[in-house]
Amino acid sequence: MSKVRVNCFSISLDGYGAGPKQSLENPLGERGPELHNWFFPTRTVQKKVFSQEGGETGVDNDMAERSFENVGAWILGRNMFGPVRGDWPDESWKGWWGDVPPYGCDVFVLTHYPRKSFALAGTTFHFITDGPLAAMEKAKASAKDKDVRIGGGASTIRQYLQAGLIDEMHLAVSPVILGKGEPLLQGIDLSALGFNSVKLFAGEAASHFWLSR
């Protein structure tokens, strides 16, 4: 049975999913990259995101590798796609990932501003202006019997949590205290949303919590 899931979403010990002042120079916010010190060095990410050989193996890599399995469509908030705010000045921005995105399927980007779909190395980006529920409907249709993965950021995950649409969530808690930034679970009652199963995997540089309903 297909699921709607969150994987490899990194948060700090004090619950922030990104640092403050996100920008082109700091796409993850100030100190935000520290949340992903477990993720970027893994062999899976080196290959899929950076098209590089090598990288670290172990539990952290297993978590990263598992996150790409059986994904038929993605949903991203606009900030996850790029730093452009407001109306699109042109169509030159194609994403943070260069010529080869790591997705390999349809990606639905939430935005208030229309833009034409485009394809890039096996990934097609669609820009959805009629809200998260419409994006979910399109993503499920595209994924067919595979899973829909919510890539983030924090506000996008919160919207789908509050709508009761996420079945499984993997949070990677990094040993970092940010003090400020974008909180993920503030005001969210996971128990009321039906999450009652938690598994813990101790990684080399993060603690991995799997929550399901």
For the cut 80, the answer to whether the pLDDT of residue 23 exceeds it is no
For every residue of 69-134, DSSP letters joined together read TTEEEEEEEHHHH-S--SS-S-S----TTTTS-S--SEEEEE-SS----EEETTEEEEEE-S-HHH
Contact 184, 15 (CB under 8 A): yes
Per domain, the residue ranges of the chain are 4-84+99-212
- Range 66-75 average pLDDT: 97
Domain 4-84+99-212: which topology? Dihydrofolate Reductase, subunit A (3.40.430)
- Mean pLDDT over the full length of the chain: 94
Question: Residue 168: how many CA atoms within 13 Å on its side-chain side?
Answer: 15
Residue 174: C-alpha distances to residues 12, 13, 56 (Å):
5, 6, 17
Q: Tell me the pairing of strands 168-173 and 4-11.
A: parallel
Predicted confidence at residue 210, as pLDDT, reads 96
**pTM of structure:** 0.94
Report the C-alpha gap between 129 and 142 in whole angstroms.
17
Query: CB under 8 Å to 193, separation ≥6 — which residues?
Result: 161, 164, 213
**Residues above pLDDT 70, as percent of the chain:** 100
DSSP classification of residue 192: T
- Extract the tokens encoding 141: 């249709």
Instruction: Give residues with Cβ within 8 angstroms of 101, minimum separation 6.
Output: 95, 107, 120, 121, 122, 123
The first and second tokens of residue 18, run together, are 């990104």
